[in-house]
């Protein structure tokens, strides 16, 4: 039970961990865990920073899968307003290994738009930043499908764990600072994550995602300053027997 509690504790620390100084808000790495042709996976995730993502994946053949996601963040606070919309599409290989393990490798492309308005109560709007985002990513997902069951609140809760690693090359183009053209930026991000799935009913699971975000280049506006911690619901329909 220690592992799920540790993930929950990390989520509670999210307001402290999730800075807002970067113009890139990473969507959660998608982990569909496909097992056979015709299987479908969907998910809806968010975090305390209101970065919300809807995801879907489909197995078009016995080893070929496609996945897509849309994410958005729209906040209006006293010191800052954020508008961030982003979409991704990926294609990859999946296989079910012996002893019920699943391995997936996806590559894909994403694009979006980001805008921030900074202000102070005394001066009003002090700075406006706006630009376009382009992204190329490679992602590896793995789970041992080793399901453990915990008896809580009078019922059994099957729990599974897994890991994923995403590497992304992101560019900030058409960048404007206070309406004036500004030098574009780029960065390479590494996002290792672990996820915990708690079965709720049938194919529906509650999922916690915890991880880190590392920027390999020193940048001012495009850096690893926003959280990849997420929580939400996932569902898999049409897969092989055995928990995921």
| Model pTM score | 0.86
Confidence band, pLDDT 50/70/90 cuts, at residue 87 = very high
Structural domain includes residue 157: yes
Structural domain includes residue 243: no
Structural domain includes residue 34: yes
Q: What is the CATH number of the domain that holds 152?
A: 2.40.128
What would the pLDDT profile of 142-155 be if each residue is shown by its tens digit?
987 567 888 888 88
What would the pLDDT profile of 156-199 be if each residue is shown by its tens digit?
899 988 999 999 999 999 999 999 999 999 999 999 999 999 99
Structural domain includes residue 117: yes
| Least reliable range by pLDDT among 75-79, 105-109, 149-153 | 149-153
Structural domain includes residue 223: yes
The mean pLDDT of the chain is 88
Q: How many domains is the chain partitioned into structurally?
A: 1
Which structural domain range is residue 107 located in? 2-237
List, in sequence order, every beta strand (DSSP E) within the chain: 40-46, 52-59, 64-76, 80-97, 101-120, 124-143, 148-152, 155-177, 180-181, 185-201, 204-211, 214-215, 230-237
Structural domain includes residue 244: no
Structural domain includes residue 114: yes
């Amino acid at each position: 039970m220690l592992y799920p509690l540790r993930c929950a504790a990390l989520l509670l620390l999210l307001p402290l961990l999730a800075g807002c100084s970067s113009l890139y808000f990473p969507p959660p790495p998608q982990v569909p865990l496909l097992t056979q042709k015709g299987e479908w996976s969907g998910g809806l995730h968010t975090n305390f920073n209101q970065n919300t993502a809807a995801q879907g994946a489909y197995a078009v053949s016995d080893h070929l899968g496609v996945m897509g996601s849309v994410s958005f963040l729209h906040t209006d606070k006293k010191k800052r307003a954020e508008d961030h919309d982003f979409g991704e599409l990926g294609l990859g290989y999946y296989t079910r290994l012996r002893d019920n393990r699943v391995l997936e490798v996806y590559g894909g492309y994403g694009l979006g738009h980001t805008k921030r308005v900074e202000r102070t109560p005394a001066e009003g709007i002090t700075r406006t930043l706006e630009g376009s985002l382009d992204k190329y990513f490679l992602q590896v997902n793995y789970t041992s499908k080793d399901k453990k069951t915990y008896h809580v609140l009078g019922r059994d809760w099957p729990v599974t764990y897994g890991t994923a690693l995403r590497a992304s090359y992101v560019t900030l183009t058409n960048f404007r600072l206070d309406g004036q053209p500004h030098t574009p930026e780029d960065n390479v991000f590494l996002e290792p994550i672990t996820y915990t799935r708690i079965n709720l009913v049938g194919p529906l699971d509650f999922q916690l995602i915890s991880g880190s975000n590392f920027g390999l280049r020193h940048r001012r506006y495009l850096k690893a300053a926003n959280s990849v911690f997420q929580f939400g619901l996932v569902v898999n329909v049409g897969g092989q027997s055995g928990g995921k």
